[in-house]
Amino acid sequence: MQVFKFGGASVKDAEGVRNIARIIENFQDQQLIIVVSAMGKTTDLLEKVTKAYYKQDPILPDLFGKVKSFHEQMLDELFDDKNNPIFDDVANFFVEIDWIIEEEPQDAYDYLYDQIVSIGELISSRIIDAYLRVVGVKSLWIDARNYIHTDNNFREANVNWEKTQRAMESSIPALLEKNLLVTQGFIGSTSENFTTTLGREGSDYTAAIFAASLDAELVTIWKDVPGVLNADPKWFDATELIPELSYLDAIELTYYGATVIHPKTIKPLQNKGIALAVRSFLDTNSKGTLIRATNSTLPVSSFIFKVNQVLISILPKDFSFIVEDNFSHIFDVFAKHRLKINMMHNSAVSFSVSVDYDEQNIVSLIKELKKQYDVDFKRDLELVTIRYHNPQTIERVLVNKEVIMQLQDNYTCQMLIRSVE
């Protein structure tokens, strides 16, 4: 059995959906689970819908209208038979959102977010399933919420692995005997049957959850890049494809911010020894990258860039040492404000961290830290991580830059830098 994952970029328009169908037609003799994300930029839009609803912003009908018209156009282009039940199906999902937004918001934001934003994946999986059937693929739509059981940590739900595996094992193998299965990435369900989401870009993780629970042979993530590259082409001109990658290097690269795969994806696959292919849906002849158990190290240095970083320096007000008690308190404050630390460094009297700039969360974080510490911050920084660094690679990223903070071990060099005029 294999698991395929198609992200939002692969289904951003009708041609994308037709392309997926062409890829899948070549695998009809396989047992296959297809995990799909919301189409194009739908998740971003639904996020805006949720915010507007929560704030009762008059822009709400416009935003929701955009989500609807995008999908209506998609349906129109894909389905010649206007009596295909998919038209009603999609309309019914929109009614679910209508029901939520009709009334003033009473529930917590994170809960509402998951109920609204999850509709993107529910709709896209329905459309892809319906289209596959039109072109003659024996597809069956399944609701991931019946299988992926989570706690109720809305927007970043944690998977209950035992319950999930039991649910999958008891019914999915029989379904796979007769059908190819299409399901949603990114979503799960609590024990009270409320929808949860697994964190932004979490569909890769969903593919890994299905694969690990059902002992798949292989997971393939189909992307608009040729595979895992040694840098994001957005920041670097001369990128190289990495044909093979160890689980450990893949975990390290995603941990430091390589966005090609969701960081939670690798571990469950590594535990089960399941390989992960990253391939291009645009060039299906190329093999892409295979992540598996191998001792080979990266053939080239890899660069990960994170822009829009803020350096926050925390100092005890009385110049006393920073000790364990301070650390645990400081980490708690960061977790509470949902700020993920990208790099950290401590000296005797200060503790410095770099985080992504998120105005709202940072203002409230600093306010809380200031009760106990002196807090300093610098904006507009870039964080560069080089895996398998050497003096040349370091020099290469420092052209017209100055280093604010640097950490280095044998494998990895992290530098927080800023442009010099």
Question: Contact positions toward ligand ASP, by CB under 6 A?
Answer: 7-8, 37-38, 43, 120, 185-186, 200-203
Q: Which residue is nearest to ligand ASP (CB)?
A: 203
Q: Look up residue 84 and give its amino acid.
A: N
Q: Which does 185 bind (CB under 5 to 8 A by kind): ligand ASP, Mg ion, none?
A: ligand ASP
Q: Which residue is nearest to Mg ion (CB)?
A: 8
Q: Which does 186 bind (CB under 5 to 8 A by kind): ligand ASP, Mg ion, none?
A: ligand ASP
Q: Please identify, using beta-carbon distances, which residue of 43 and 265 lies nearer to Mg ion.
A: 43
Q: Please identify, using beta-carbon distances, which residue of 43 and 125 lies nearer to ligand ASP.
A: 43
CA-CA-CA-CA torsion for 179, 151, 119, 3, nearest 10 degrees?
A: -30
Least distance (Å) from ligand ASP to the CB of residue 265?
10
Asked if 111 contacts 19 with a C-beta cutoff of 8 angstroms, the reply is: no
Least distance (Å) from Mg ion to the CB of residue 39?
9
Q: Which does 305 bind (CB under 5 to 8 A by kind): ligand ASP, Mg ion, none?
A: none
Distant-in-sequence, close-in-space partners of 33: CB < 8 Å, separation ≥ 6 = 1, 2, 3, 4, 172, 176, 180, 181, 183, 210, 214, 216
* Integer CA distances (angstroms), 282 to 5, 123, 222, 267, 286, in order: 14, 23, 9, 27, 9
Q: Residue 419, SS3?
A: strand
Buried b (16+ CB within 10 A) or exposed e, 73-110: ebbeebbeeeebebbebbeebbeebeebbeeeeeeeeb
Residue 107: closest CA among 194, 48, 184: 194
Q: Please identify, using beta-carbon distances, which residue of 221 and 322 lies nearer to ligand ASP.
A: 221
Least distance (Å) from Mg ion to the CB of residue 8?
3
* Integer CA distances (angstroms), 82 to 75, 346, 394, in order: 9, 63, 58
Q: Which does 202 bind (CB under 5 to 8 A by kind): Mg ion, ligand ASP, none?
A: ligand ASP
Least distance (Å) from Mg ion to the CB of residue 374?
40
Beta-bridged to residue 402, according to DSSP, are 418
Query: Rounded to the nearest 5°, which phi and psi values hold at 122?
Result: -60, -45
Could you give the CA distance from residue 312 to residue 355 in angstroms, rounded to a whole number?
A: 8
Could you give the CA distance from residue 93 to residue 89 in angstroms, rounded to a whole number?
A: 7
Least distance (Å) from Mg ion to the CB of residue 245?
23
Where in 19-58 is the site for Mg ion (CB under 5 A)? 37, 43
Q: Residue 226, SS3?
A: coil
Q: Which does 268 bind (CB under 5 to 8 A by kind): Mg ion, ligand ASP, none?
A: none
Q: Please identify, using beta-carbon distances, which residue of 203 and 230 lies nearer to ligand ASP.
A: 203
Least distance (Å) from ligand ASP to the CB of residue 390?
34
Q: Please identify, using beta-carbon distances, which residue of 12 and 163 lies nearer to ligand ASP.
A: 12
Question: 3, 6, 8, 183: which one contacts Mg ion (CB under 5 A)?
Answer: 8
Least distance (Å) from Mg ion to the CB of residue 283?
21
Binding site for Mg ion (CB under 5 A): 8, 37, 43
